[in-house]
């Protein structure tokens, strides 16, 4: 695997870290997660920075561990996760579970958005018939190609939905 400049230049950061690298992280987070108003550039990876990292990871379909490693840095730089897969019926992975979770609205989100959601099945990471139907319904609502396949355009709209949902929880 060829390392990108992002991988070479940025260290892994987590709760408790301090310094200029944390300030750089906070600058990116303010740009990418502007709806965390209490986030400031102070060089301290505290509770608010952790919250912003976890929200960013949620919105970009990354593992929500609060750790800023290689993939989170790359995603912060480019604004989108660099390794988003093509998902379709028969796919089985954590990304499918994340999509199912986004498309399955909680009662609070249902009430806030006045929508029931798209997915009503079990969050199991299996891209089956129910997931495909939910993706098609979502694609139809967004007026994009309705094929039940999650490719780049559908990922873009899913990230917008994830941002909206995560913002409602703040």
Given this model, what pLDDT does residue 116 score? 87
**Where are the domains positioned within the chain?**
5-78, 94-168
pLDDT at residue number 110: 83
Q: How far apart are CA 34 and CA 56, in angstroms?
A: 10
In this predicted structure, what is the pLDDT of residue 170?
A: 52
In this predicted model, what pLDDT tens digit does every residue of 128-146 receive, in sequence order? 999 999 999 999 999 999 9
**Under the phi-then-psi rule, with left for phi > 0, alpha for psi from -120 to 50, and beta for the rest, what region is 70?**
alpha
| CATH superfamily ID and name for 5-78 | PGBD-like superfamily/PGBD (1.10.101.10)
Indicate the pLDDT class of residue 115, thresholds 50, 70 and 90.
confident
Query: What are the Cα distances from residue 147, in Å, to 96, 104, 136, 153?
Result: 16, 19, 6, 12
Fold match between domain 5-78 and domain 94-168:
yes
Residue 169 pLDDT level (bands cut at 50, 70, 90): low
Of residues 110 and 45, more confidence is placed in: 45
Residue 1: which pLDDT band, with cuts at 50, 70 and 90?
A: very low
CATH assignment of 94-168, among 1.10.3470, 1.10.101, 2.60.40, 3.40.190: 1.10.101
pLDDT in the model for residue 80:
87
Give tens-digit pLDDT for 83-95: 899 999 999 999 9
Q: Please tell me the pTM assigned to this model.
A: 0.85
CA 82 vs CA 6, 12, 60, 70: distances in Å: 12, 17, 10, 11
pLDDT at 166: 83
pLDDT for residue 7 is more than 60 = no
What pLDDT does residue 66 have? 97
């Amino acid at each position: 695997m060829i390392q990108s400049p992002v991988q070479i230049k940025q260290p892994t950061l987590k709760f408790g870290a301090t310094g200029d690298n944390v300030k750089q992280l906070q600058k990116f987070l303010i740009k990418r997660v502007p709806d965390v108003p209490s986030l400031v550039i102070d060089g301290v990876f505290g509770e608010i920075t952790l919250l912003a990292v976890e929200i960013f990871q949620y919105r970009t379909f990354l593992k929500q561990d609060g750790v800023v490693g290689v993939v989170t840095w790359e995603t912060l730089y480019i604004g989108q996760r660099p390794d988003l897969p093509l998902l379709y019926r028969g796919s089985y992975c954590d990304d499918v579970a994340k999509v199912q979770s986004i498309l399955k609205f909680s009662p609070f989100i249902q009430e806030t958005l006045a929508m029931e959601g798209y997915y009503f099945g079990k969050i199991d990471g299996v891209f089956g018939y129910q997931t495909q139907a939910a993706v098609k319904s979502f694609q139809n609502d967004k007026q994009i190609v309705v094929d039940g396949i999650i490719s780049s355009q559908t990922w873009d709209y899913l990230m917008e939905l994830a941002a909206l949902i995560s913002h409602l929880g703040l």
